[in-house]
């Protein structure tokens, strides 16, 4: 895991265990068109980003709309440059297009930046996040 | 700042103070009612040396900010005695033993995700992903009586609740800020309440004496004017506020605040302030606070007028908490701020840790009769009830 190819818009990772390719977009890394784009923090490298996508994929952390969501270390690791601990891999219906992702903050109230309440409840019940973090996500505090 | 803390271990969701009761919501969503009188009696029984502070903090907390007490506290020997008494209170907290009685009500609320609890107008309100629910509680009995089932009031996802001047305001995200003052009256018919839309988007709202600030996002506040009328009944809450005036209209006048706030700050601190870095804004009755991602913290005095834009006056720049603000609440003695890993109190430029733990819920009761300076913090380990005393005698009322 972790081998990638440089593309014009990001770093393309090889297909994972379920056959999904992934691209770490420069736009979410501090270059390219960054307007309104949230960014991964420097310490959370593109291979980390890809690994987290694979964890979300393997764990089926996917909501009814097809988006994958993820936290690292149960949400104790900051992954975004503005303190975000949650990320989203938006639904991708085209197998030929690589997946991508970015940190999100439900508190920002940007459209689509918060996983559905029931999805978070499922995370809490299965121990992906604890009750405190589940409530903080559902209440748009983080 | 001195604190005295009472701790109730358990698996809880939230805790609220109302009419001399500590109302604790359990993980199973039952409601437990602890009498503050019983809690104080238990402290007095087990730690007699703490009786004075227990009484002052948890039964008659309003005494602390009374004119008489403030006057007394100007005498150094009197203040020293209060501080000495504080030092006798168990640290870090007094743990309520299991034998302290409580009454627990199992109730039915038709939702699996609760987003906010609120007690006002003698009712318990529950904001949830499936809408707003409420139950009328009989507080006049020896132990409060709850119906077996909460009534659904409306369908919209309700993320935050607040109430004042007889009105309940419900923040419902993209469904807006809904409000009603009908719940203030005894002849309420919950099935037919009219909920009016004050603004089209809301994540929370906080009152001013002459208005309400609606937050369309965490950093986009609008001041909505409120019009009041004489209540046809004595209000259950808010008697100390402005007599028995009740809200008749919200939002007839609307002032976007973000640009006004930014201009005022920029005119005083042009080198420090970057509007793109605002992380969180909140207000108390008199002050608007703005926190930034780069650790700055600005305070502006705000005064809503009956007509026209509010008076805004830059007050202070402070060093922030070096972490994100997740929620904020006002007390009579400053602001209480929830961050990722702890809860802080802030007043007079000083940060004081209230609890070194991640909170599920942090509540203050600045307009409650006997709980001005109390904070309830619910964590995964239990509920902490924290009483505060300003021993610096540099009281700021907020």
The answer on pLDDT for B397 being more than 80 is no
Chain A residue with minimum CA distance to B340: A142
Exposed e or buried b per residue across B324-340, where buried means at least 16 C-beta atoms within 10 angstroms of its C-beta: bbbbbbbbbbbbbbbbb
Mean pLDDT, chain B, integer: 90
Query: Two tokens at B126?
Result: 């529950």
What is the share, in percent, of chain B residues with pLDDT greater than 70? 96
Nearest to B336 by CA among B392, B369, B298, B289: B289
Instruction: Say yes or no for a CB contact (<8 Å) between B379 and A132.
Output: yes
- Rounded to two decimals, the ipTM of the complex is 0.92
The answer on pLDDT for B395 being more than 60 is no
Task: Assess B327–A contact: CB distance below 8 Å, yes or no.
Answer: yes
Instruction: Say yes or no for a CB contact (<8 Å) between A139 and B159.
Output: yes
Nearest to B383 by CA among B102, B122, B136: B102
Report d(CA B267, CA B222) in Å as an integer: 21
List, for residues B77-103, the tens digit of each pLDDT value.
888 888 899 899 999 999 998 878 899
Return the H-helix or E-strand segment holding B389.
Answer: strand B382-389
Quickly state the pLDDT bin for B369 (edges 50, 70, 90).
confident
Residues of A in contact with B358 (CB under 8 A): 132
The answer on pLDDT for B242 being more than 70 is no
Distance of alpha carbon A90 from its chain centroid, rounded? 8
Residues of B in contact with A76 (CB under 8 A): none
Task: Assess B293–A contact: CB distance below 8 Å, yes or no.
Answer: yes
Query: Two tokens at B119?
Result: 């007690």
Instruction: Say yes or no for a CB contact (<8 Å) between A141 and B217.
Output: no
List, for residues B170-220, the tens digit of each pLDDT value.
999 999 999 999 988 877 787 778 999 999 999 999 999 889 999 999 999
Residue B197 forms beta bridges with which residues? B178
DSSP code for A14 = P
How do the domains of chain A map onto residue ranges? 4-113
List, for residues B56-67, the tens digit of each pLDDT value.
999 988 887 788
Range with the poorest average pLDDT among B107-121, B126-140, B174-188: B174-188
Task: Give the DSSP letter string of B296-328.
Answer: EEEEEEEE--SSSSPEEEEEEEEE--SS-EEEE
Average pLDDT over residues A69-91: 96
B158: closest CA of chain A, how far (Å): 10
Q: Are B376 and B36 a contacting pair, CB within 8 Å?
A: no
Report d(CA B139, CA B23) in Å as an integer: 12
Return the H-helix or E-strand segment holding B18.
Answer: strand B12-18
Dihedral of the alpha carbons of B48, B54, B60, B63, in degrees to the nearest 10: 100
Chain B residue with minimum CA distance to A132: B360
Task: Assess B326–A contact: CB distance below 8 Å, yes or no.
Answer: yes
What is the share, in percent, of chain B residues with pLDDT greater than 90? 62
Query: Two tokens at B23?
Result: 């109302």
Beta-carbon contacts of residue A111 (< 8 Å; ≥ 6 apart): none
Site from B127, B176, B203, B337 to mutate, A interface, most A CB atoms within 10 angstroms: B203
List, for residues A38-60, the tens digit of each pLDDT value.
999 999 999 999 999 999 999 99
* Residue-level pLDDT at B275: 78
Return the H-helix or E-strand segment holding B42.
Answer: helix B36-46
Q: Are B240 and B227 a contacting pair, CB within 8 Å?
A: no
**CB-hemisphere CA count at 13 Å for B202?**
30
Residues of B in contact with A141 (CB under 8 A): 326-327, 338
Residue B244 forms beta bridges with which residues? B242
* Residue-level pLDDT at B253: 93
Cis-peptide, bond into residue B92, ω within 30° of zero? yes
Chain B residue with minimum CA distance to A119: B113
Beta-carbon contacts of residue B194 (< 8 Å; ≥ 6 apart): B180, B182
Query: Two tokens at B297?
Result: 């913290």
Distance of alpha carbon A97 from its chain centroid, rounded? 17
Q: What are phi and psi of A36, to 5 degrees?
A: 60, 15
The answer on pLDDT for B132 being more than 70 is yes
Of B203, B359, B379, the CB nearest to A109: B203
First to last CA, chain B: 16
Task: Give the DSSP letter string of B170-199.
Answer: EE-BTT-EEEESGGGSTT--GGGPPPEEEE
Average pLDDT over residues A63-85: 96
Residue B244's SS3 state is strand
DSSP code for B113 = -
Report d(CA A103, CA A124) in Å as an integer: 20
Which residue do the tokens 């506040």 mark? B221
Report d(CA B119, CA B172) in Å as an integer: 18
Query: CA of B274: how far to CAs of B279, B291, B313, in Å?
Result: 11, 11, 19
Range with the poorest average pLDDT among B214-223, B256-265, B387-396: B387-396
Report d(CA B134, CA B74) in Å as an integer: 45
* Residue-level pLDDT at B239: 61
Report d(CA B14, CA A133) in Å as an integer: 14
A97: closest CA of chain B, how far (Å): 32
Task: Assess B322–A contact: CB distance below 8 Å, yes or no.
Answer: no
The answer on pLDDT for A1 being more than 70 is no
Q: Are A79 and A40 a contacting pair, CB within 8 Å?
A: yes
Quickly state the pLDDT bin for B394 (edges 50, 70, 90).
low
* Residue-level pLDDT at A31: 66
Of B113, B293, B359, the CB nearest to A82: B293
Task: Assess B218–A contact: CB distance below 8 Å, yes or no.
Answer: yes
Return the H-helix or E-strand segment holding A3.
Answer: none
Average pLDDT over residues B8-33: 95
Most confident among A12-26, A32-46, B281-295, B335-349 (mean pLDDT): A12-26
Helix and strand element counts for chain A (H, E): 3, 6
First to last CA, chain A: 30
* Residue-level pLDDT at B12: 96
Nearest to B368 by CA among B229, B246, B241: B241
Query: Two tokens at B185?
Result: 């009256």
Q: What is the CA radius of gyration of chain A?
A: 14
The answer on pLDDT for A115 being more than 80 is yes
Task: Assess B115–A contact: CB distance below 8 Å, yes or no.
Answer: yes
């Amino acid at each position: 895991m972790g081998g990638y190819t440089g593309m014009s818009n990001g770093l393309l990772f090889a297909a994972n265990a379920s056959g999904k390719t992934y691209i770490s977009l420069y736009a979410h890394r501090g270059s390219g068109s960054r307007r309104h784009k949230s960014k991964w923090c420097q310490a959370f490298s593109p291979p980390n980003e890809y690994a987290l996508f694979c964890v979300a994929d393997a764990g089926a952390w996917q909501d009814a709309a097809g988006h994958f969501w993820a936290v690292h270390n149960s949400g104790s690791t900051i992954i975004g440059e503005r303190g975000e601990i949650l990320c989203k891999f938006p639904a991708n219906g085209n197998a030929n297009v690589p997946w991508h992702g970015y940190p999100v903050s439900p508190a920002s109230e940007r459209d689509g930046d918060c996983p559905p309440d029931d999805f978070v409840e499922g995370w809490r019940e299965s121990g992906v996040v604890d009750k405190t973090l589940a409530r903080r996500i559902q209440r748009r505090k983080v | 700042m001195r604190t005295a803390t009472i701790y109730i271990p358990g698996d809880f969701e939230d805790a609220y103070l109302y009419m001399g009761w500590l109302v604790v919501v359990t993980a199973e969503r039952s409601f437990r009612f602890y009498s503050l009188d019983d809690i104080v009696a238990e402290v007095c029984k087990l730690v007699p040396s703490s009786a004075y502070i227990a009484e002052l903090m948890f039964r008659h907390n309003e005494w602390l900010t009374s004119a008489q007490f403030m006057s007394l506290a100007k005498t150094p020997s009197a203040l020293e005695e209060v501080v000495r008494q504080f030092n006798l209170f168990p640290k870090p907290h007094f743990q309520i033993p299991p034998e302290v009685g409580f009454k627990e009500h199992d109730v039915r609320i038709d939702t699996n995700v609760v987003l906010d609890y609120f007690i006002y107008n003698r009712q318990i309100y529950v904001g949830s992903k499936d809408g707003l629910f409420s139950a009328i509680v009989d507080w006049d009995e020896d132990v409060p009586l709850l119906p077996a089932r909460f009534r659904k009031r409306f369908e919209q996802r309700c993320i935050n609740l607040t109430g004042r001047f007889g009105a309940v305001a419900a923040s419902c995200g993209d469904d807006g800020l809904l409000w009603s003052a009908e719940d203030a009256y005894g002849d309420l018919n919950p099935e037919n309440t009219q909920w009016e839309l004050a603004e089209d988007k809301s994540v929370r709202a906080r009152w001013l004496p002459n208005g309400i600030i609606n937050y369309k996002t965490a950093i986009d506040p609008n001041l909505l004017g409120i019009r009041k009328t004489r209540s046809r009944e004595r209000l259950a809450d808010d008697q100390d506020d402005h007599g028995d005036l009740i809200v008749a209209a919200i939002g007839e006048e609307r002032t976007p605040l973000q640009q006004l706030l930014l201009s005022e700050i920029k005119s005083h601190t042009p080198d420090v302030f970057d509007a793109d870095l605002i992380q969180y804004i909140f207000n108390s009755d008199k002050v608007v606070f703005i926190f930034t991602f780069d650790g700055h913290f600005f305070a502006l005095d705000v005064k809503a007028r009956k007509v026209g834009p509010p008076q805004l006056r830059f007050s202070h720049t402070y060093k922030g908490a070096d972490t994100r603000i997740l929620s904020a609440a006002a007390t009579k003695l400053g602001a209480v701020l929830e961050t990722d890993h702890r809860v802080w109190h802030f007043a007079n430029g000083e940060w004081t840790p209230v609890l070194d733990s991640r909170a599920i819920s942090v509540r203050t009761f600045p307009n409650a009769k006997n709980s001005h300076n109390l904070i309830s913090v619910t964590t995964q380990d239990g509920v902490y009830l924290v009483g505060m005393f300003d021993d610096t005698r540099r009281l700021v009322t907020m």
